[in-house]
């Protein structure tokens, strides 16, 4: 189906808002419920916000960089936008589903495009037991934290924590410790995308831990379960020959 109707979304900064106004004047601005595509102008943070806000719409999202790094964005340019959109390559991303159980009770769910992170809340290192599909794999990880990253998010916090870069279609998730003290030699693991990873926090009052799914945080958790949400898809569009798969692959060769 040809892309004709565009809905524009702009980050709250002068560059993004000015560009959005120019593009709306040239191409119109369709309501979200009628749009064939959403064009997001801003940086990677705004792109993540746009993806979360439209996760259930099944509308493709095309980013234009009006921020800083712009890893998830295309180059900004007002000309030939309809042609670029109709020739764009598609990358489908499945988010992670976090089920966090705080000490106060209940379960709080959230979705993450990049990663789910467990982080210590105090000066005390966290103590975390890790199980995969019901089988204990790490009896006690003493650390600043631990995270599960998607391939799309593997070049973000995961990479900063010395986790592996994952090709988009690798079919795995990264399980990466953050400043692990014990066991010293454990550097993380690659998990099949079907895996259900459970973290149980030890000494929750002495060593409190928070769980974060992208920007959504639950504090004082005692158990967190992470799995891929295969029932939810986010469709990102990239200019031809500059797709997300190529960008992630290229990151492995940047010194």
Burial of 51: CB neighbours in 10 Å, binned 0-12, 13-18, 19+: buried
Looking at the DSSP bridge assignments, the partners of residue 175 are: 148, 189
pLDDT digits 0-9 by tens, 38-87: 999 999 999 999 999 999 888 999 999 998 878 889 999 889 999 999 99
Mean confidence (pLDDT) of the chain: 93
Which H or E run includes 160?
helix 157-160
pLDDT at residue 1 in the model: 67
Say which residues have a Cβ less than 8 Å from residue 21's Cβ, sequence separation at least 6: none
Q: Which of 14, 29, 36, 44 is catalytic?
A: 44
Q: Does pLDDT of 254 surpass 80?
A: no
Environment class of residue 203 by beta-carbon count within 10 Å: exposed (0-12), middle (13-18) or buried (19+)?
Answer: exposed
- Quick: pLDDT tens for 1-42: 689 999 999 999 999 999 999 999 999 999 999 999 999 999
Give me the domains of the chain, ranges plus CATH numbers.
6-93+233-251 (3.40.50.10330), 96-228 (2.60.200.30)
Is residue 239 flagged as an active site residue? Answer: no
Residue 97 and residue 230: Cα distance in Å, rounded? 9
- pTM exceeds 0.95: no
Chain centroid offset of residue 212 CA: 11
């Amino acid at each position: 189906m040809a892309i004709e109707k565009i809905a524009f979304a702009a980050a709250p900064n002068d560059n993004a808002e000015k560009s959005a106004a120019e593009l709306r004047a040239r191409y119109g601005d369709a309501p979200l419920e009628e749009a064939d595509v959403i064009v997001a102008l801003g940086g990677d943070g705004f792109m993540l916000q746009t993806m979360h806000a439209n996760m259930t719409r099944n509308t493709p999202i095309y980013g234009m960089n009006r921020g800083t790094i712009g890893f998830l964005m295309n180059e900004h340019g007002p000309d030939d936008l309809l042609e670029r959109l109709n020739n764009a390559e598609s990358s489908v991303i499945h988010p992670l589903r976090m089920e966090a159980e705080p000490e106060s009770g209940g379960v709080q769910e959230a979705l993450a495009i990049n990663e789910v992170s467990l982080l210590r809340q105090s000066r005390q290192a966290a103590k975390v037991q890790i199980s995969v599909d019901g089988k204990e794999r790490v009896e006690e990880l003493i650390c600043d934290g631990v995270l599960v990253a998607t391939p799309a998010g593997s070049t973000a916090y995961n990479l900063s924590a010395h986790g592996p870069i994952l090709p988009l279609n690798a079919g795995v998730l990264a399980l990466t410790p953050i400043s692990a003290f014990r066991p010293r030699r454990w550097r993380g693991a690659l998990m099949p995308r079907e895996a259900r990873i459970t973290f149980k926090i030890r000494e929750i009052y002495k060593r409190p831990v928070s769980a974060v799914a992208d920007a959504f945080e639950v504090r004082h958790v005692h158990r967190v379960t992470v799995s891929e949400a295969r029932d939810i898809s986010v469709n990102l569009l990239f200019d031809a020959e500059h797709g997300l798969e190529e960008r992630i692959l290229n990151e492995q060769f940047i010194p």
